[in-house]
Chains A and B, each alone.
Chain A
Amino acid sequence: MHHDPREHVAHLVGHLAHYLPAQGPIGVFIHHNTLHAFENLPFEEGVVAAARLYGTEPFMSEAAYRRDLDRGRIQARDLDTVLAEEPNEPIIAGLDRRTLRRAMLLPGVREFDTGTVAWRLAEGDLATSVRPLAARALFDLCVKRSSDASEERRPAASARPLDNIVHPLLIRLCANYLDQGMAYWPMPNRALGFLGAVRELMSQPVFFAPHGLRGVAEAFRRQNGQDATAVLLSLLQELQVEDTEEFLRDELLALPGWAGLFHRLEEEPELAPYQHVRASLLDYLAVRVTLLAVATNDGDEGELPAVGAQRANPEGARLARAALLFDALSSLNFTADRLRSLSATDFARLEREVQACDGMERRRLFHLAYERRHETEILSPIAQHRGEAVTLPPTDEARPTAQVFFCIDEREESIRRHLEEVAPTVRTFGAAGFFGVAMHFTGIDDAHGAALCPVVVKPGHAIAEQPHAADEHLLGVRKARRRIWSQISHALYVSSRSLVRGWVSTALLGLFSLAPLITRVLAPRTAGRLRERLHEAFFPEPRTALAFASQEKVAGDPHHELDLGFTTQEKIDRVSGLLRGAGLVRNFSRIIVVLGHGSTSLNNPHESAHDCGACGGRRGGPNGRIFAAMANRPGVRAGLKAMGIEVPEDTWFVGGYHDTCSDLVELYDLDALPATHQGDLATIRGQLDRARALDAHERSRRFEAFEESRDANLALLHVEERAEHLAQPRPEYGHCTNAVCYVGRRDSLRGLFLDRRAFLVSYDATVDPDDTFLKRQLGAVILVCSGISLEYYFSFVDNEGYGCGTKLPHNITGLVGVMNGHASDLRTGLPWQMVEIHEPVRILFVIETTPVRLEATILSNPYNANLAKHRWIRLATLDPETGAVHVRRDHGYEPFVPEASGTPVVATSMDWYHGKRKHLPIAKIAAGAGKH
């Protein structure tokens, strides 16, 4: 408790800000655990606590789990396994908790609520159930003996009528203040901060005060230039607030999206994409509470009475409890006589146990079983497969024809697998897509540089793309023409929205818009190609190199305090770090491709969410490119050799980029490729082209709009069109299928169809005796993958509460986020179109090491240790020597017993997935097993 009230309020707000969404401006989308603030609680408790606070759902609905039970996605044995791990105790003679709960899950009880139970008893399904005399007797006895208890009611979201008055104005103020250049007039006085700017503005005299806010101008004028804390303190007094914390929390959570953005921009002002604004959460609160006080004084109760506030209904509550008891007892074949014979204490205990297994508890148990089935379906084939391929590493291995690095992203799993199927002599690796090169990168077409590395890393080096000396004039032409194009486009944008210029551009020039309108709607791919052609014709593209990538470090950049380029030693560190981390220390092929990734799409405010998370929500092409350029340096090769990594002289690295939306694969700096390697390049280029078409084909199996065909090239056309389509709300499914993360040698899992559901991190425990690289890998991988997994989990289980609902009414605001329609909270989280085929499971890490080594590594990182301890992630190990699988449980690592059913074997991936839309179990792909 702070004695100074000013400090107290500031402290409270700082503390409560943790409950706000951590999403910044939407142009750079970083996946993170939506419930990061609850990670200090065990998962199942945390989600329920959050559900209570936000009025959201912690799990899927019980009906959804029951559907999964019906279709075999959850099995009875999973429920048994889960219940066996829960504490058990006897309730009454002949009945223990486990038996009771088992019966309440399967065959199960119905859900009853106070509002409808009476009707259901009178003329609904309950009436049918109690028609038999015996059932009737049991039910009546349940009603008679049931005790009264207060029902717990969740706060109704719209029980705050004054919000209807305050929000329209407040939202407009927030949007205009944080606007990054969409409104023609920027908000005046933004330098004064939010409170100052709003105060200046709202103090203006008006003809009609806003509805329900009479006196708002005086209220702001009366504040006399006080700062936000002082304003808040006096308002708290004026409103006679008793519990300050509760009051402030409710005020913050009334519009969590806007409040959260103020908070994020206060913490990191540089997140604002184009215009820095002074954001302060205290300012926001001061404005909000001022408006609230004015609305309170005005006394107008808002447009509509509060909806959703339920009347107390003690009889309904009692009936609902009795009905639940009845269902539970019926499923145990209890008779009325047996119930009647129970003593009062026995009955009380029984009733308590039944009521304790309420809807929330049943959903928790169902969810655990749901995840348990997933675990079994993943680990069984892995254990089996590993049991068959025990000769790892393969002896007298032939030299691979090529080695290709991809990002660990689960979306790259399919293209890797297809590449391995197309070219059995190619080996693939997975490494976090910034490839260990954290940098501030500026391309020739970029206005500003951007950090291409995980958000937790602050880059210390700047890299700029520069034209070859011979092409410098081309760059000049390009820049000048692009500037002109930008000026014209911007002028057209502005003028079409203004009055007089708008008259010219609509009345006189309007008809000219017909051609782009028709082509972009009816032939998006052609329109895209045409635009590209025009681009190429008008903006000549110079050949470029990454400046300082292949030279020595020159000097520090005084503005960003960044070093320009990397020294030879820094280059050696980065290259060796990546190679050793991935376990690639010998048997290098003649050509090694390093592919960064990203995603391009239109009509998609969430475009950045599909980019590379390891590159800070941006496209990772430059990282692959610079890594290759570094690794080709003779000085670096010499350094590697000194470290014992002998890269043959005839090995050449090529950087590249894979677009996960259009499945484009682009390779860089091919003019530098030695003539001797042209053949190798042609081979791998051809193999990559085939693999990307097959990848597009595998992805298209999920899209209903793709008419089934075995022709992979048609699928490639289809995904290219999706990327260019203005009307396409799901250009790609993104991380929608993520569920597993494998850290280990590719060879242990090569040839398994993982359905684009597994992040694949290359790591070789046999060359990492002291777990240095495991620590490094897990430090980044767990943070990134758990963030993705949990964001998808929450956006799926409550898409309106944690996600941002359907994309269709989304309306971009101020270039910082999306609203629903014209005045809503800023919507955070993922839209339904991105998560609709997701299976909400906590991510299952399968790590190729021993339990002892893993535990020590996990514990050495406090963040990871906390996630593991509180079960926000699931962990399993795959022994690098024996192939034995262990699963981490609360009490320690438990040997995994695979289920007996064999893994299906098919010739190619296409044979397995073709014609199927749903998630597929793991299968063995004969073609993908590879040749060693």
Chain B
Amino acid sequence: METSAILLCLLVAAPGLAFLTLSLSWLLGAELPEHWVTRLTRLTFAVSGGAFTALVVILAMQGEFRVSAHLGDWFRVHHYTFPLVLLSDSLSLPMLGLTILLTSLIAAFSKTYLHREAGFLRFYLQLHLYFFGALLVLAAGSFDLLIGGWELVGISSVLLIAFFENRTGPVRNAIRVFATYRTCDIGLLVGVFLMHRWADTATYSDLFSAGELHGTEAIIVALALLFAASGKSAQLPFSGWLPRAMEGPTPSSAIFYGAISVHLGAYLLLRAEPILLASPVSATCVVLVGGLTAMYGTLSSRTCSDAKTNLALAALSQLGLIFVEIGLGLTTLALFHMIGHAIVRTLHFLRAPSMLHDFHQLHSAAGGPLPVTGEHYDQWLPLRLRLWLYRFAMDRGHLDHLIDRCFADPLQRLSSWLAGPVAAPAPRTPQRALNNVAEGLD
């Protein structure tokens, strides 16, 4: 194998190994002190970051930013094979670099932020799992492998939302996010299934080079992928989960919902660009979803008076724009936008707890009240409409209610009908203990 391929494998594998080391030692009952966790984390990021830098240097000397690593097949059933293939090109390289940089900053930040917190180890465990997942999504050479990373990012995201597991709020919201993720994952699974069915492959190189998918087939696959991407990137109609994800510790909110995880949906679309742009129908759908989400995000964030949700919804409006850019075929712009946006939002999230301090400074420097906001385009709207819009935006477009009423409730009714009448659990009486006593008395 070439050096560059080895480096690519190394940079993806490092956090996976770190996760395994931490989780194994935890399962074996070792209580790792904070500084050991920190040291291991530092080592992981040094390896990943070092491998990435070396890779970029080698590729730059070669003059071609493309490397792939074939690690053979995982398994083979009839004529289906699951190829373990990593690929890095001009699309995934910048994203890999961004992910490594921002995640390492978050890891450094969290060392201080979570110091002495009971869940310190658990946090880092999940951070490594997410990191591995994200690198896998970005470096996968086939959609089969991408699913693996996609799921790891999803589960670590859910677990970090429920980080404060002794409170009902975080757990309840995490379950809702989990349900949304799982629903949207159907899109990815179906998409990949159809790729295999119609093109006999889900490896990027084979899939795109031969132009295997055409016409309706391409549209259906593209829409399935759009469905999946919308879930991850909180596009309409799934946007309701994003504010709920603000229950976790601030650094995890930053890395997931400001920086990397929410952009993975957009990355998926960029990856599938040849399929997506094969027909105007799917491209239009992407533009439509993105455009509506952008409007939805900006409207909702306008009425949002808490620091983190405000940021999450503001991020949503930019994510919508990124989708629009992708749908219009402005790939390079979309990539730039993603990177710039991830950096800005990370800093915003990390500064969110300082907002009182910052506002105080702004006010005193202004020497009086700050300029009035909400009088920009808004002032041209009639008052009645503004009031209605406020109500609409404050309720986040009634999206959650819509999902509850049209989807969750019927599903719940269906499942309880399928399950039949549930017998009430018998109250657990201390019968056995009393029997013991009775025996003793005899």
Q: Taking beta carbons and an 8 Å cutoff, which residues of A are in contact with B?
A: 26-27, 117-119, 121-122, 136-137, 139-140, 143-144, 158, 169, 172, 175-176, 179, 181-189, 200-202, 204-211, 274, 303-304, 307, 311, 313, 315-316, 319, 445-447, 479, 482-483, 485-487, 489-490, 493-494, 496-499, 502-503, 505-511, 513-514, 516-518, 520-522, 602-605, 607, 704-705, 725-729, 806-815, 819-824, 833, 836
Residues of A within 8 A of B401 (CB): 208-211
Q: A483-B366, A490-B371 are in contact. Are A183 and B343 (CB under 8 A)?
A: no
Q: A175-B306, A808-B250 are in contact. Are A502 and B318 (CB under 8 A)?
A: yes
A727 and B110: CB pair below 8 A? yes
Determine which of A202, A316, A821 lies in contact with B391 in the assembled complex, contact meaning CB atoms within 8 Å: A202
Q: How far apart are the CA atoms of A518 and B108 in the complex, in Å?
A: 10
Determine which of B347, B357, B393 lies in contact with A604 in the assembled complex, contact meaning CB atoms within 8 Å: B357
Residues of B within 8 A of A810 (CB): 353
Closest to A204 in B: B391
Interface digits, B277-302 against A, CB 8 Å rule (1 contact, 0 not)? Answer: 00000000000000000110110011
Q: Which 10 pairs across A and B sit closest by C-beta, in order of nearness?
A: A510-B340, A118-B430, A821-B247, A486-B365, A118-B433, A179-B305, A497-B314, A507-B337, A499-B298, A727-B112
B344 and A506: CB pair below 8 A? yes
Determine which of A143, A497, A603, A836 lies in contact with B353 in the assembled complex, contact meaning CB atoms within 8 Å: A603
Q: A176-B394, A183-B302, A201-B394 are in contact. Are A304 and B172 (CB under 8 A)?
A: yes
Determine which of A121, A176, A211, A812 lies in contact with B355 in the assembled complex, contact meaning CB atoms within 8 Å: A812
Q: A136-B440, A316-B430, A447-B363 are in contact. Are A498 and B390 (CB under 8 A)?
A: no
Q: How far apart are the CA atoms of A728 and B360 in the complex, in Å?
A: 19
Q: A182-B355, A274-B363, A447-B364 are in contact. Are A503 and B318 (CB under 8 A)?
A: yes
A506 and B117: CB pair below 8 A? no
Residues of B within 8 A of A502 (CB): 298, 314, 317-318
Please give the distance in Å from B374's CB to the nearest CB on chain A. Answer: 4
Residues of A within 8 A of B112 (CB): 705, 725, 727-729
Residues of B within 8 A of A200 (CB): 387
Residues of B within 8 A of A494 (CB): 373
Closest to A503 in B: B321
Residues of B within 8 A of A836 (CB): 116
Residues of A within 8 A of B393 (CB): 185
Q: A206-B398, A274-B363, A490-B371 are in contact. Are A822 and B305 (CB under 8 A)?
A: no
Which of A181, A602, A727, A824 is packed against the most chain B CB atoms within 10 Å? A727
Q: A140-B437, A144-B441 are in contact. Are A204 and B387 (CB under 8 A)?
A: yes
Please give the distance in Å from B293's CB to the nearest CB on chain A. Answer: 11
Residues of A within 8 A of B436 (CB): 121-122
B172 and A809: CB pair below 8 A? no
B363 and A811: CB pair below 8 A? no
B365 and A445: CB pair below 8 A? yes
The residues in B between 356 and 415 inclusive whose CB is less than 8 angstroms from any CB of A are 356-357, 359-360, 362-371, 373-374, 378, 386-388, 390-395, 398, 400-402, 404-405
Q: Give the interface size bracket for B toward A.
A: 35 or more
A447 and B433: CB pair below 8 A? no
Known contacts A211-B404, A810-B353, A823-B169; 11 additional CB pairs below 8 A are A122-B430, A139-B437, A181-B373, A210-B398, A486-B365, A513-B344, A517-B347, A604-B354, A811-B306, A811-B352, A815-B356
Please give the distance in Å from B122's CB to the nearest CB on chain A. Answer: 13
Closest to A180 in B: B359
A820 and B430: CB pair below 8 A? no
B353 and A27: CB pair below 8 A? no
A704 and B116: CB pair below 8 A? yes
B356 and A607: CB pair below 8 A? yes
Tell whether B70 is near chain A: CB-to-CB under 8 Å: no
Q: How far apart are the CA atoms of A810 and B354 in the complex, in Å?
A: 11
12 contacts between A and B (CB under 8 A): A181-B359, A184-B303, A211-B400, A482-B365, A496-B348, A499-B298, A506-B318, A509-B344, A514-B343, A517-B343, A521-B108, A820-B167
Tell whether B333 is near chain A: CB-to-CB under 8 Å: yes
Residues of B within 8 A of A518 (CB): 105
B352 and A812: CB pair below 8 A? yes
Closest to A186 in B: B374
Q: How far apart are the CA atoms of A304 and B108 in the complex, in Å?
A: 38
Q: How far apart are the CA atoms of A209 and B398 in the complex, in Å?
A: 8
A182 and B306: CB pair below 8 A? yes
Q: How far apart are the CA atoms of A137 and B440 in the complex, in Å?
A: 8
A175 and B321: CB pair below 8 A? no
Q: How far apart are the CA atoms of A823 and B176 in the complex, in Å?
A: 15
Q: A186-B374, A303-B172, A445-B364 are in contact. Are A820 and B164 (CB under 8 A)?
A: yes
Interface digits, B162-201 against A, CB 8 Å rule (1 contact, 0 not)? Answer: 0110011110110000000000000000000000000000
B115 and A704: CB pair below 8 A? yes
Q: How far apart are the CA atoms of A183 and B298 in the complex, in Å?
A: 11
Q: How far apart are the CA atoms of A308 and B167 in the complex, in Å?
A: 12
Please give the distance in Å from A490's CB to the nearest CB on chain B. Answer: 5
A208 and B405: CB pair below 8 A? yes
The residues in B between 83 and 124 inclusive whose CB is less than 8 angstroms from any CB of A are 105, 108-117
Please give the distance in Å from B189's CB to the nearest CB on chain A. Answer: 28
Please give the distance in Å from A529's CB to the nearest CB on chain B. Answer: 17
Tell whether B232 is near chain A: CB-to-CB under 8 Å: no
B365 and A726: CB pair below 8 A? no
Residues of B within 8 A of A304 (CB): 172
Please give the distance in Å from A448's CB to the nearest CB on chain B. Answer: 8
Q: How far apart are the CA atoms of A522 and B106 in the complex, in Å?
A: 10
Residues of A within 8 A of B297 (CB): 499
Please give the distance in Å from B410's CB to the nearest CB on chain A. Answer: 14
Q: How far apart are the CA atoms of A117 and B430 in the complex, in Å?
A: 8
Q: How far apart are the CA atoms of A535 and B212 in the complex, in Å?
A: 61
B305 and A182: CB pair below 8 A? yes
Determine which of B310, B347, B353 lies in contact with A182 in the assembled complex, contact meaning CB atoms within 8 Å: B310
Residues of B within 8 A of A819 (CB): 306
A485 and B365: CB pair below 8 A? yes
Interface digits, B335-349 against A, CB 8 Å rule (1 contact, 0 not)? Answer: 011011111111110
A496 and B344: CB pair below 8 A? yes
Residues of B within 8 A of A307 (CB): 168
Residues of B within 8 A of A181 (CB): 359, 370, 373
Q: A118-B432, A482-B367 are in contact. Are A727 and B356 (CB under 8 A)?
A: no
A208 and B398: CB pair below 8 A? yes
Please give the distance in Å from A797's CB to the nearest CB on chain B. Answer: 17
B366 and A311: CB pair below 8 A? no
Tell whether B146 is near chain A: CB-to-CB under 8 Å: no
Q: How far apart are the CA atoms of A447 and B364 in the complex, in Å?
A: 5
Which of A122, A483, A728 is packed against the most chain B CB atoms within 10 Å? A122
A140 and B373: CB pair below 8 A? no
A521 and B353: CB pair below 8 A? no
A507 and B333: CB pair below 8 A? yes
Residues of B within 8 A of A319 (CB): 430, 433-434
A185 and B364: CB pair below 8 A? no
Tell whether B328 is near chain A: CB-to-CB under 8 Å: no
Q: How far apart are the CA atoms of A190 and B170 in the complex, in Å?
A: 31
A822 and B246: CB pair below 8 A? yes
Residues of A within 8 A of B352 (CB): 811-812
Q: How far apart are the CA atoms of A205 and B301 in the complex, in Å?
A: 21
Q: How far apart are the CA atoms of A513 and B405 in the complex, in Å?
A: 42
Residues of A within 8 A of B214 (CB): none
Which of A499, A726, A813 is packed against the most chain B CB atoms within 10 Å? A499
Closest to B106 in A: A521
B309 and A140: CB pair below 8 A? no
Tell whether B421 is near chain A: CB-to-CB under 8 Å: no
Residues of A within 8 A of B356 (CB): 26-27, 605, 607, 812, 815
Please give the distance in Å from A120's CB to the nearest CB on chain B. Answer: 9
Residues of A within 8 A of B303 (CB): 176, 183-185, 187
Interface digits, B124-160 against A, CB 8 Å rule (1 contact, 0 not)? Answer: 0000000000000000000000000000000000000
A521 and B348: CB pair below 8 A? no
Residues of A within 8 A of B244 (CB): 822
Closest to B359 in A: A815
Residues of A within 8 A of B363 (CB): 274, 447, 486
